[in-house]
Amino acid sequence: MVRAMVLPSLLAALVLGACAGSPWSPRTPAPLPSEATALTLATSPPAEPLPAGVEWGCPDQLIGDVRVFRVGSAVAFEWVGAGQVDLVWPRGFSARLRDGEGEIVAPDGSVIAREGDVISERLVGVESGICQVDGVFYQPAS
């Protein structure tokens, strides 16, 4: 009985100890398929470790409806019914041109949106830093 309680406590202490004071984990973009061309997408810069006692938080603010479009070799966004907006995506997200269409791609390779799509009620954060996409939190990354 004692062994059964000690092992989970020890594992929890190791996990917490490994996280405390360590830099953010790296997050790399999904590999670019051979038939695709990379497009420019504004993403967060590498994050510095937080000072002791400070915790990361994501603003609980839903980003309004934005339409995806392309300007030259970059993906851009505009508020639906308004003007262009500069969104900064979490580190590890990328954009590509595939079959003549721009795509925004999550680090796991899933396509979040395509050129012409309206992203509605799927992004949380602020314009200068999206921190949640489709219900998944993206902490800062190195």
pLDDT at 47: 84
Residue 64 scores a pLDDT above 80: yes
Which carries the bigger pLDDT value, residue 142 or residue 6?
A: 142
| Chain segment 81-109, per-residue pLDDT in tens | 888 999 999 999 999 999 999 999 999 99
Tokens found for residue 108: 């796991």
Q: Sheet of 84-85: strands edge to edge?
A: 84-85, 74-79, 66-71, 118-119
For the chain, which residues make up each domain, given as ranges?
25-48+57-137
**Cα 65 → chain centroid:** 17
Amino acid at position 6, single letter:
V
Whole-structure pTM value? 0.79
CA atoms of 37 and 32, how far apart (whole Å):
7
Beta bridge partners of 104: 95, 113
Residue 23 scores a pLDDT above 60: no
